[in-house]
Amino acid sequence: MIVTLMVAWIIFIILWKLVKTTIKTALTFATIVVLLYFGFGVTPQDIWNQITKVAQTYLQSSPSR
């Protein structure tokens, strides 16, 4: 039973670190988007359009198999 508790504790710690990192990343991303919006008038749609444009350019420039 002690081994089971130790394994459960280790899994809990790993999951807790994962959740903390995910939340920090999401808050950082949200902060950047809000700053871009209020500072420069860049909307989230503008950001998404630029990301898809870069992805399409990359896919078109990569050699086809």
Residue 36 neighbours by CB under 8 Å, 6+ apart: 42, 47
Judge whether residue 63 has pLDDT over 80: no
pLDDT band for 65, please (50, 70, 90 cuts).
Answer: low
* Band of residue 8 on the pLDDT scale cut at 50, 70, 90: very high
Dmax over Cα atoms in the chain, in whole Å? 58
Which amino acid is residue 30, in one-letter code? A
Q: Could you give the C-alpha distances from 54 to 5, 11, 30, 33, in angstroms and in order? A: 48, 38, 21, 18
pLDDT in tens, 29-44: 999 999 999 999 999 9
Evaluate if pTM is beyond 0.85.
no
